[in-house]
């Protein structure tokens, strides 16, 4: 039997969860979440987790199992857990569908040797004291080919990789590409991997993203972030769920007491947070586009015109997804 993996990628707001559920329903599959913020308990509205109704009868893995105070769940542990789930699904003759989400987490699963083993146990805590600009300037002296300036996590890890191994991350990745003779991220861990990438024109996507923020507010975003902040603010680490979009935009509002939050000033700060959330969501979407740019093997669909049922039931994709003995 040929073991197959489906990966659904795309910018936020493109309907990845809908497609993943449709694939699972049509091809006896289960969904594996690869969004790093959705691993944590709480903030279901803020992190736009799929609802039970939207899941239907499809089982979802790697959702809401970490406490917000957790600070030691790494991409290495994520990869280990997901690989176990994939194997178990194959043993049960089911199709695993990985949905991202966070590109670093997705890449750790689909590419062989994507994570550099020697950086697993090394961390330079002194780097946490540097600003984003200081951190990037330090990295440029070490690895001028590194390009993720606006991703603090990746900048810090690139520095730590060099400090731990004496080799830059760019050189590590170049060697992987050379070995795999690939223009992607290295050798695919599973040869039968089908990647879908969902996209839309900028103007259409921006409208969807702004409407989504408005919908989040109607669903109870304000009450959700208030309860979450009041319960966990004293124990939240500086990273993890504390970095989630739809939480950091409201920090000034959330620091108010209950009475101040209900005042005109509180209302104004909340509305300013909503506008900032729309801006940051659009910016995050642009970053996702750049992260996913290397997936030249993806099936790319425009969400304005695509019909999931039509494509999934079409002969072409049924053949790609079908398990063969």
158 in Cβ contact with 146 (< 8 Å): yes
Domain 203-283: give its CATH code. 1.10.287.890
pLDDT along the chain (325 residues), means of 10: 87 86 95 94 93 96 93 87 98 96 86 64 74 87 72 80 79 65 66 86 86 95 95 76 82 95 97 95 80 54 50 52 48
pLDDT of 166: 79
Residues 6+ apart with CB under 8 A from 67: 40, 41
Closest CA to 75 of 130, 177, 154: 154
Measured CA to CA, the distance from residue 323 to residue 325 in angstroms comes to 7
Q: Note the pLDDT tens digit of each residue in 245-298.
A: 888 899 999 999 999 999 999 999 999 999 999 999 888 888 777 666 555 444
pLDDT of 165: 78
Q: Locate tokens 């990966």: which residue?
A: 7
Domain 115-186: give its CATH code. 1.10.20
pLDDT of 163: 82
Q: Which two tokens stand for residue 76?
A: 């290495």
Radius of gyration of the chain (CA): 21
User: Taking the CB of residue 60, how many other CB atoms lie within 10 A of it?
Assistant: 22
Q: Return the domain boundaries, the chain.
A: 115-186, 203-283
Q: Which two tokens stand for residue 221?
A: 């975003």
pLDDT of 72: 80
Burial status of residue 240 (CB atoms within 10 A of its CB: 0-12, 13-18, 19 or more): buried
48 in Cβ contact with 219 (< 8 Å): no
Measured CA to CA, the distance from residue 269 to residue 297 in angstroms comes to 44
């Amino acid at each position: 039997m040929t073991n197959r993996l489906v990966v659904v990628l795309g910018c936020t707001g493109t309907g990845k969860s809908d497609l993943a559920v449709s694939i699972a329903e049509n091809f006896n599959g289960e969904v594996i979440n690869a969004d790093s913020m959705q691993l944590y308990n709480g903030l279901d509205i803020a992190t736009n987790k799929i609802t039970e109704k939207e899941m239907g009868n499809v089982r979802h893995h790697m959702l809401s199992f970490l406490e917000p105070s957790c600070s030691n769940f790494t991409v290495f542990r994520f990869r280990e857990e997901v690989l176990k789930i994939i194997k178990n699904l194959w043993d049960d003759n089911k199709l695993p569908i990985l949905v991202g989400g966070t590109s670093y987490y997705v890449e750790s699963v689909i590419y062989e040797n994507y994570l550099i083993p020697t950086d697993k146990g090394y961390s330079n805590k002194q780097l946490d004291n540097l600003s984003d600009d200081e951190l990037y300037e330090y990295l440029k002296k070490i690895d001028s080919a590194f390009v993720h300036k606006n991703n603090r996590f990746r900048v810090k890890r690139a520095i730590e990789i060099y400090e731990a191994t004496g080799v830059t991350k760019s050189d590590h990745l170049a060697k992987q590409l050379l070995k795999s003779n690939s223009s992607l991220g290295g050798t695919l861990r599973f040869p039968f991997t089908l990647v879908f990438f969902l996209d839309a024109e900028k103007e259409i996507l921006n409208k969807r993203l702004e409407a989504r923020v408005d919908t989040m507010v109607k669903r109870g975003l304000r009450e959700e972030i208030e309860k979450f902040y009041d319960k966990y603010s004293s124990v939240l680490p500086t990273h993890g769920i504390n970095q989630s979009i739809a939480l950091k935009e409201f920090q000034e509002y959330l620091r108010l007491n209950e009475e101040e939050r209900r005042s005109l000033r509180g209302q104004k700060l909340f509305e300013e947070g909503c506008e900032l959330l729309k801006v940051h969501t659009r910016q995050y979407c642009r970053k996702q586009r750049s992260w996913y740019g290397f997936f030249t093997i993806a099936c790319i669909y425009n969400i304005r015109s695509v019909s999931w049922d039509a494509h999934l039931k079409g002969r072409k994709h049924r053949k790609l997804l079908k398990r063969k003995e």
